[in-house]
Amino acid sequence: MSSQKNLSVGPAPRQQYQWDWRAAGNFICGGAGAGLVVFAQLSGLKGMAVVVLTLGGLGLVGLGLLCVWLEIGRPLRAMNVLFNARTSWMSREALASWLVFALGAGWLAGVAAWAWPLAAAAMVFLYCQARIVQAAKGIPTWRSKMSAPLLVATGLAEGAGLFWIVAAWQVAGGALAALFGALVIARWLAWRAWRASVGAAPAQALAAIDRVAPAFQWGGTAAPLVLIAMAALVPAPWSGALLAAAGAAVVVTGASFKFTLITRAAYYQGFSLARLPVRGVPR
């Protein structure tokens, strides 16, 4: 990428280049990891299974934060992000991550009462992460009021998808499978509302979004819902295989959408001058 691309300013929409795949990696890994922590604690699983799932969720959150750290121009100043919580959602995300890791360490050490606080902290982390995107007011596809609900719903659905990929053969479907289906539907409804709200975004951004829309609609919504419904009708181990396949579809399409949102559909609005000064003509 050239410095000219970064510095060019004008009336035409232009893509942002400050956030690349590393920033997208934070939203992909951190969102799914936080969702996995939440779903693992809600599942009621006991023993090593829930430990592995929670560790996986915490690891993904950490991997997402590592991606952000790799993107920082001066990594040794990364701790400065903790000092602006009053105005910065990025600072709040960082502080929430410390809380998630602290509660996770306590829970893994045997403090069972910290399970629900851990899930709540993961939800706070996911919400703060979603608000980082919404706070970018110069980018129409990010600043929509539906961006945060969409990213929260996506993170929770992806976390549930990861849960079923790992634990589908250890857990009966039932209520947990129904909750997974509800999260998939919630993600789709949030996506539809978000897509309607960004109709005035630059054409290049909308084209990038619409390229992934069919996969999101059919591969990430319709197909998983069909698989979840089929899982309720067949015995194990087929039901587990169907739920794991549904989970994989939700995770892959969610990651693809977030990568597109951050790196390919992030166009600045540009500006327009309704009245231009003309020499010798009073205004």
Top-confidence residue, 184 or 85? 184
pLDDT of 269 reads 80
Q: Give buried/exposed letters for 130-158 (b at 16+ CB in 10 A, else e).
A: bbbbbebeebbbbbbebbbbbbbbbbbbb
Length of the chain: 283
pLDDT of 87 reads 86
254, pLDDT greater than 70: yes
> Per residue in 89-113, pLDDT tens?
999 999 999 999 999 999 999 999 9
Residues 6+ apart with CB under 8 A from 278: none
Q: Which of 62, 61, 27, 60 is nearest to 261 (CA)?
A: 27
Task: Please give the full DSSP string across 6-48, using - where no structure is assigned.
Answer: HH--SSS--B--SS-HHHHHIIIIIHHHHHHHHHHHHTT--TH
271, pLDDT greater than 70: no
Mean pLDDT, rounded, for 34-39: 98
Q: What is the mean pLDDT of the chain?
A: 90
pLDDT of 1 reads 41
**Any idea where the domains of the chain sit in the sequence?**
18-263
pLDDT of 81 reads 74
Question: How far is it, in rounded angstroms, from Cα 40 to Cα 38?
Answer: 6
pLDDT of 273 reads 55
Mean pLDDT, rounded, for 143-160: 97
Cis amide leading into 237 (omega within 30): yes
- Percent of the chain at pLDDT > 70 equals 89
Report helix angle 223-231 to 174-197, nearest 10: 170
DSSP state of 264: T
Top-confidence residue, 101 or 9? 101
Task: Please give the full DSSP string across 46-93, using - where no structure is assigned.
Answer: -THHHHHHHHHHHHHHHHHHHHHHHH-SSGGGGGGGGG-TTT-HHHHH
pLDDT of 192 reads 97
Choices 3.40.1000.10, 2.170.150.20, 3.30.2350.10, 1.20.1630.10: CATH for 18-263: 1.20.1630.10
Q: Give the distance from CA 173 to its chain's centroid.
A: 25
Task: Please give the full DSSP string across 171-235, using - where no structure is assigned.
Answer: S--HHHHHHHHHHHHHHHHHHHHHHHHTTTS-HHHHHHHHHHHHIIIIIIIIHHHHHHHHHTTS-
